[in-house]
């Protein structure tokens, strides 16, 4: 399901809600008196503050009551707080999206959608089907923010002009205009269509600026604490990431990894022949798609201070698309007669990509139930069991069988204890760890 974007009169500081009035005034003063170089920095900060307002503003839906945070709540791993439903309800009663709300956490790391010729894979973009490619505004986060305001089953605004009207009538209009010099919303009704279009793009870009702040990428999980400790012992990033070697074991002990969590890390990183037998008794093949490699800093994202310069800690995704063989979800509110969800295929115009959906990051996976694009799996244990036993345990038929991945999951031969260990490790990827 698409991200809902809106705002409120509150901002977040250290995950607590505080009034924006004083901060907004101070920022406006800074912009007024700062030199050109400092002003550039201040403008970016202003865009982030505007994005905060928009993200939490429940008055930007028709009727009022829906915001980004309604389906991407910071207190719930940036997903819908209602884990009982597989998809989110929009601002209109009994209007539901067709897909599970993905987490907005760490979404900033997804690149513009492209086709990797060497791998033969599509990579990047936002939404489960990658349709927010990043080609419109140069940023997948911003492209994603363009849609929900106008989606009839989400925020249900009939036009971009109406969205700009509500921004113009908001208490943060002056802040918006300060963030975007040259924009004047005072006479929104007289603005040309081109001016409305530009202002609407600025709304999306402001939200994207906010989604690139530390709130969305705190790197505060137990696994991150382990990485920091491991690097502090002088181990190389690659070895720390996969948890191999005596220094990694020592770091795990320092952080307080349990035996179950440590076993789960080893299983997660290990290979498997997907034929009911562990390869060299090594593991579960998870890292084949949920990659634990360090990557190069693209320069427009948050990176923790303890990370080696120019590097990004593992995202536990390769940003590709895959068909896991997830069954059609018949649970409320899904229509059993609804057509098959084809995912990426229609977006890129290639039937070979039908049935494939984004490989989401596993960061905060323990906080973001239910799971899969249609919310079919209610618990992390359940989807882990599916990965392990899909082909041998009588699961319902895949919604789209033609492109199912049979190479990396389906008959892994893991025990129930192995599954529990994997779940335990994946929960160490949840932010908010307190030693």
Least confident of 32-36, 169-173, 264-268, 336-340: 32-36
Q: Do 173 and 308 belong to one domain? A: no
**H/E run at residue 193:** helix 193-210
Q: Could you read off the pLDDT of 117-148 as tens digits, one per residue?
A: 999 999 999 999 999 999 999 999 999 999 99
**What local confidence, expressed as pLDDT, does residue 281 receive?**
54
335 located within any domain? yes
Domain co-membership, 222 together with 212: no
Predicted pLDDT of residue 271: 80
β partners of residue 377: 371
Does residue 382 sit in the same domain as residue 250?
yes
pLDDT, position 278 = 62
Asked whether residue 390 is assigned to any structural domain, the reply reads yes
Answer yes or no: is 101 within a domain.
Answer: yes
Mean pLDDT of 48-66: 98
* Mean local confidence (pLDDT), 401-405: 98
Checking if the pLDDT of 156 tops 70, the result is yes
* Cβ-contact 96, 83 below 8 angstroms: no
For the chain, the straight-line distance linking the first and the last C-alpha, in angstroms and rounded, comes to: 34
Q: Tell me the mean pLDDT in the region 306-321.
A: 97
Query: At 41, is the pLDDT very low, low, confident or very high (cuts 50, 70, 90)?
Result: low
User: Do 208 and 257 fall within a single domain?
Assistant: no
Q: Is the pLDDT of residue 39 over 80?
A: no
Q: Which residue has the tokens 């009588």?
A: 394
Residue 36 has pLDDT above 70, yes or no: no
Residues 340 and 363 in one domain: yes
Mean pLDDT is lowest, of 11-15, 165-169, 373-377, 386-390, for: 11-15
What gap in Å lies between CA 347 and CA 204, rounded to an integer? 21
Q: Is pLDDT at 340 greater than 90 in this prediction?
A: yes
| Mean pLDDT computed over 386-403 | 97
- Residues 150 and 264 reside in one and the same domain: no
Residue with tokens 């209602």: 82
Q: Which helix (H) or strand (E) holds 16?
A: strand 16-19
DSSP alpha helices (H): ranges in 300-343? none
Instruction: State how far the Cα of 97 lies from the Cα of 212, in Å rounded to an integer.
Output: 25
**Residue 272 banded pLDDT, cuts 50, 70, 90:** confident
Choose one of 188, 216, 244: the last residue of a domain.
216
Last residue in a domain, options 165, 183, 216: 216
Measured in whole angstroms, the distance separating CA 305 from the mean position of its chain's CA atoms is 22
Helix residue ranges, H only, 115-192: 140-145, 160-168, 173-179
HSE, CB side, 13 Å, CA atoms: give it for residue 182: 4
Whether 100 is covered by a domain: the verdict is yes
Domain residues for 297? 218-435
The CATH code of the domain that includes 228 is: 1.10.760.10
Tens of pLDDT, residue by residue over 348-394, are: 999 999 999 999 999 999 999 999 999 999 999 999 999 999 999 99
Cβ atoms 164, 191 nearer than 8 A: yes
* Residue in 180, 156, 49, 131 with CA at minimum distance from that of residue 341: 131
Give the bridge partners for 356, in sequence order: 343
Q: Are residues 258 and 367 in the same domain?
A: yes
* pLDDT value at residue 72: 97
77 in the Ramachandran plot: left (φ > 0), alpha (ψ -120 to 50) or beta? Answer: left
The answer to the question of residue 125 being in a domain is no
Q: What are phi and psi of 16, to 5 degrees?
A: -120, 145
**Could you tell me how many helices (H) and strands (E) the chain has, helices first?**
14, 8
Whether residue 212 lies inside any domain: the answer is yes
Residue 214 scores a pLDDT above 70: yes
Average pLDDT, the chain: 90
Asked which of 182, 216, 250 is the last residue of a domain, the reply is: 216
162: helix, strand or coil: helix
Could you tell me what percentage of the chain is helix, strand and coil, using 3-state DSSP and rounding each to the nearest 5?
40, 10, 50
Please give the structure tokens belonging to residue 129.
Answer: 């089907």
Q: Is the pLDDT of residue 185 over 90?
A: yes
Residues 17 and 157 in one domain: yes
> Given this model, what pLDDT does residue 273 score?
72
- Residue-level pLDDT at 277: 61
Residue 78: pLDDT over 90: yes
Q: Which of 18-27, 89-98, 284-293, 421-430 has the lowest mean pLDDT?
A: 18-27
Main-chain dihedrals φ then ψ at residue 122, nearest 5 degrees: -85, 140
Overall average pLDDT of the 74-95 stretch: 94
Residues 184 and 267 in one domain: no
Task: Tell me the C-alpha distance between 302 and 70, whole Å.
Answer: 24
Distance in angstroms (rounded) separating the CA atoms of residues 360 and 37: 37
Closest C-alpha to 427, from 261, 295, 300, 293: 261
- Residue 242 sits in the same domain as residue 210: no
247, part of any domain: yes
Instruction: Assess whether 358 and 223 both reside in one domain.
Output: yes
4 belongs to a structural domain:
no
Number of domains comprising the chain: 2
Q: Does 170 lie in the same domain as 223?
A: no
pLDDT-derived band at 20, boundaries 50, 70, 90? very low
Over residues 234-240, the mean pLDDT reads 95
Rounded Cα gap, residues 206 and 68, in angstroms: 13
Q: What is the mean pLDDT of residues 252-259?
A: 97
């Amino acid at each position: 399901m698409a991200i809902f974007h809106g705002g409120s009169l509150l901002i977040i500081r250290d995950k607590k809600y505080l009034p924006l009035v004083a901060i907004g005034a101070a920022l406006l003063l800074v912009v007024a008196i700062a030199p050109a170089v400092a002003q550039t920095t201040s403008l970016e900060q202003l865009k982030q503050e505007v994005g905060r307002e928009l993200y939490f503003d429940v008055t930007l839906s028709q009727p009022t009551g829906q915001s980004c945070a309604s389906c991407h709540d910071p207190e719930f791993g940036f997903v819908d707080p209602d884990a009982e439903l597989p998809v989110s309800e929009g601002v209109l009663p009994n209007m539901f999206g067709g897909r599970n709300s993905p987490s907005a956490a760490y979404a900033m790391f997804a690149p513009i959608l492209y086709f990797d010729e060497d791998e033969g894979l599509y990579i990047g973009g936002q939404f489960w089907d990658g349709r927010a490619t990043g080609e419109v505004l140069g940023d997948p986060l911003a492209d994603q923010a363009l849609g929900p305001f106008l989606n009839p089953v989400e925020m249900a605004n009939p036009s971009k002009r109406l969205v700009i009207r509500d921004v113009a009538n908001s208490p943060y209009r002056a802040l918006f205009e300060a963030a975007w010099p040259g924009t004047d919303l005072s006479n929104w009704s007289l603005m040309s269509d081109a001016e409305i279009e530009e202002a609407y793009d600025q709304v999306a870009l402001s939200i994207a600026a906010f989604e690139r702040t530390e709130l969305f990428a705190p790197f505060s999980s137990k696994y991150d604490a382990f990485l920091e400790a491991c690097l502090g012992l002088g181990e190389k990033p690659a070895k720390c990431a996969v948890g191999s070697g005596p220094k990694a074991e020592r770091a795990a002990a320092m952080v307080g990894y349990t035996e179950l969590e440590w076993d789960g890390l080893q299983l997660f990183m290990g290979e498997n022949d997907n034929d009911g037998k562990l390869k060299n008794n090594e593991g579960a093949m998870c890292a084949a798609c949920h990659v634990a490699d360090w990557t190069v800093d693209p320069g427009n994202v948050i990176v923790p201070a303890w990370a080696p310069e120019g590097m990004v800690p593992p995202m536990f995704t390769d940003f590709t698309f895959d068909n896991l063989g997830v069954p059609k979800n018949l649970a409320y509110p899904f229509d059993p007669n609804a057509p098959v969800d084809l995912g990426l295929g229609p977006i890129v115009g290639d039937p070979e990509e039908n049935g494939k959906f984004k490989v989401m990051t596993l960061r905060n996976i323990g906080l973001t139930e239910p799971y899969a694009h249609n919310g079919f799996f209610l618990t992390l244990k359940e989807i882990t069991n599916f990965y392990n036993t899909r082909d041998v345990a009588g699961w319902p038929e895949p919604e789209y069988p033609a492109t199912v991945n049979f190479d990396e999951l389906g008959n892994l031969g893991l025990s129930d204890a192995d599954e529990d260990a994997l779940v335990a490790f994946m929960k160490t990827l949840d932010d908010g760890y307190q030693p």
